[in-house]
Amino acid sequence: GAGVSQSPSNKVTEKGKDVELRCDPISGHTALYWYRQSLGQGLEFLIYFQGNSAPDKSGLPSDRFSAERTGGSVSTLTIQRTQQEDSAVYLCASCKALGGNTEAFFGQGTRLTVV
C-alpha cells in the first residue's frame, strides 16, 4: 500500500502475556519511529530507527519493551509480560529525508488493551 500500515488495529491481551505489534513503513523510508499515546494525551517517544545506525532506544519505558527492524523495512514492537499500564495506542511513523519536503507519515495505530 501507499501508506504506513500497522497490525493489528486492536489487540486485547491478558496481563502477563507477550504481544507483538507490527509496522510496515512506506517503501524507501529510512527512518521509522514508534510512539505511545494514552487516551487524550500526547505522543510519548519510544524508539527511533535511522537506516543502518544503532536505534535510539531512549524512550523505551522498561526492559519489557523491545523493537527491531528487519532489513531496514518492517518493524516489530514487542511488549513482554504486559501490564495494565501498557494499555494505549501505539503509533508508528516513517520518514524519508527530502529536504524541504520532509514529512513523517503515520499509521493508524494499534490500540492495545491489557485486561
Partner 1 sequence: AQTVTQSQPEMSVQEAETVTLSCTYDTSENNYYLFWYKQPPSRQMILVIRQEAYKQQNATENRFSVNFQKAAKSFSLKISDSQLGDTAMYFCAFMKSSAGGTSYGKLTFGQGTILTVHP
Complex with partner 1: residue 30 or 73, whichever CB lies closer: 30
Instruction: Tell me whether strands 43-50 and 75-79 are parallel, antiparallel or unpaired.
Output: unpaired
Identify the residue among 60, 79, 95, 114 touching partner 1 (CB under 8 A): 95
| Candidate ranges 12-20, 42-50, 65-73, 77-85; the one touching partner 1 (CB under 8 A) | 42-50
CA 64 → CA 25, 46, 53, 67, 71, distances in Å? Answer: 24, 12, 22, 10, 23
Q: CA 92 to CA 106: how far, in whole Å?
A: 6
Q: Does 112 bind partner 1 (CB under 8 A)?
A: no
Complex with partner 1: residue 37 or 76, whichever CB lies closer: 37
What's 51's DSSP letter? T
CB of 81 to partner 1, least distance (A): 27
Complex with partner 1: residue 12 or 97, whichever CB lies closer: 97
Contacts of 37 (CB under 8 A, 6+ apart): 43, 44, 88, 89, 90, 91, 109
Binding site for partner 1 (CB under 8 A): 31, 33, 35, 40-43, 45, 48, 50, 56, 58, 89, 91, 93, 95, 97, 99-100, 102-104, 106, 108-109
